[in-house]
């Protein structure tokens, strides 16, 4: 069979994933998460690792369009070589550039991604996402690997706006399901994933969809596998300008979500922030960005120390009377 390389083996696996059997999905998940190890493994070794038969692994390769396992393994080798070539090409492109030229090039590329996102973002989907998040009983947010900072950022501000937000950041699929075992139709799940897509995030989205929760995807294109289980897709351009992902456009979309929710519930946000500020003041969390010193000791401990000295002085006076 002559395979046209319109996409690599990992993309091929992702494209077929939704129609796979349970056994084939287990193989797909293993290869997607450990492709750098799987490239050196025989079909028998993968089968042994996953507790399935060698023939199942061979059928898996055929199921995604290869003549057999050796051809799929060869495609994995080419995929890894391609990644190394990408790094080499970046060195060739920027090796003779000054630091300021690299800065301008990278930032210009990020500007292009922002403009592309502005031009292609679905305004109706954005409005739906804002309303869905605000009306949900509980919100679950998940983004792994390079997407983890985006998920943490979103969860932090959602807690300020509405509370009852769960950040799913475990490395174990079973623990993820344990954390979202009570998800239901009144809840919302937000999955954030950009290439290489996270199979763990996709499985969590599938579980949320099966439990009739509202599922929102923040991803890069309409072809992303993250869209399979979501009813609302927010697309942000995130091509790699170098060996790292550009998260400027996705972060901007998340910023816009936060601002829109604040504008829809200004009084609630104001009340939450006032409560938070009062808590900070009561527990002296922030002291004008620096710690003042009184009697050569931090002010943070001064009130407790002063109280202790007063009690000691009181006890001494009682003994003297």
Q: Which residue ranges form the domains of the chain, and what is each CATH number?
A: 9-94 (1.10.10.10), 107-272 (3.40.50.10490), 287-321 (no CATH)
What is the mean pLDDT of the segment spanning 42-53? 93
pTM of the model: 0.61
How many Å from the N-terminal Cα to the C-terminal Cα in the chain? 103
How does pLDDT run across 120-179, given as a tens digit for each residue?
Answer: 889 999 999 999 999 999 999 999 888 899 999 999 989 888 889 999 977 667 788 888
* Mean pLDDT of the 10-37 span: 85
What's the whole-number average pLDDT of the chain? 79
Helix (DSSP H) and strand (DSSP E) numbers for the chain: 13, 7
d(C-alpha 31, C-alpha 34), whole Å = 5
Cβ contact 278:143 at 8 Å: no
Cβ–Cβ < 8 Å for 164, 139: yes
The answer to whether 166 and 140 are in contact (CB under 8 A) is yes
Q: What letter does residue 283 receive in the DSSP assignment? A: T
In this prediction, residue 11 carries a pLDDT of 78
Report the percent of the chain where pLDDT is more than 70: 75
Q: Is the pLDDT of residue 41 over 50?
A: yes
The whole-number pLDDT of residue 293 equals 45
232-235 vs 214-219, strand pairing mode: parallel
Q: State whether residue 11 is helix, strand or coil.
A: helix
Distance CA 200, CA 38 (A): 18
pLDDT at 244 over 80: no
Cβ-defined contacts of 20-27 (< 8 Å, 24+)? 20/60, 20/63, 23/52, 23/56, 23/60, 24/56, 24/59, 24/60, 24/63, 26/50, 26/52, 27/52, 27/56, 27/57, 27/60
Q: Is the pLDDT of residue 65 over 60?
A: yes
* Residue 177: predicted pLDDT: 87
| Least confident stretch, 177-191, 230-244, 280-294, 303-317 | 303-317
């Amino acid at each position: 069979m002559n395979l046209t390389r319109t996409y690599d083996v990992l993309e091929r696996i992702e494209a077929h994933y939704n129609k796979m059997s349970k056994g084939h999905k287990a193989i797909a998940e293993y290869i997607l998460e450990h492709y750098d190890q799987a490239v050196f493994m025989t079909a028998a070794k993968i089968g042994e690792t996953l507790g399935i038969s060698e023939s199942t692994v061979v059928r898996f390769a055929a199921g995604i369009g290869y003549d057999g396992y050796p051809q799929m393994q060869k495609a994995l080798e080419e995929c890894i070589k391609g990644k190394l070539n990408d790094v080499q090409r970046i060195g060739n492109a920027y090796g003779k550039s000054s630091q300021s030229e690299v800065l301008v090039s990278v930032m210009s590329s990020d500007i292009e991604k922002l403009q592309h996102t502005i031009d292609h973002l679905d305004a109706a989907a954005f409005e739906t996402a804002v309303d869905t998040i605000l009306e949900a009983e509980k919100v679950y947010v998940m983004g792994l690997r390079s997407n983890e900072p985006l998920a943490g950022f979103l969860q932090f501000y959602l807690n300020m706006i509405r509370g009852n937000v769960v950040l799913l950041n475990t490395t174990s699929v079973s623990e993820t399901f344990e954390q979202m075992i009570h998800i239901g139709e009144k809840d919302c799940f937000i999955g954030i994933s950009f290439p290489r897509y996270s199979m763990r995030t996709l499985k969590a989205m599938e579980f949320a969809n099966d439990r009739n929760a509202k599922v929102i995807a923040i991803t890069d294109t309409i072809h992303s596998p993250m869209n399979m289980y979501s009813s609302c897709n927010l697309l942000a351009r995130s091509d790699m300008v170098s060996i790292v992902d550009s998260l400027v456009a996705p972060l901007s979309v998340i910023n816009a979500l936060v601002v829109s929710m604040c504008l829809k519930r200004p009084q609630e946000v104001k009340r939450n922030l006032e409560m938070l500020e009062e808590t900070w003041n009561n527990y002296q969390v922030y002291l004008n960005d620096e710690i003042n010193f009184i009697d050569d000791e931090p002010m943070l401990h001064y009130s407790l120390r002063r109280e202790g000295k007063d009690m000691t002085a009181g006890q001494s006076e009682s003994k003297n009377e």
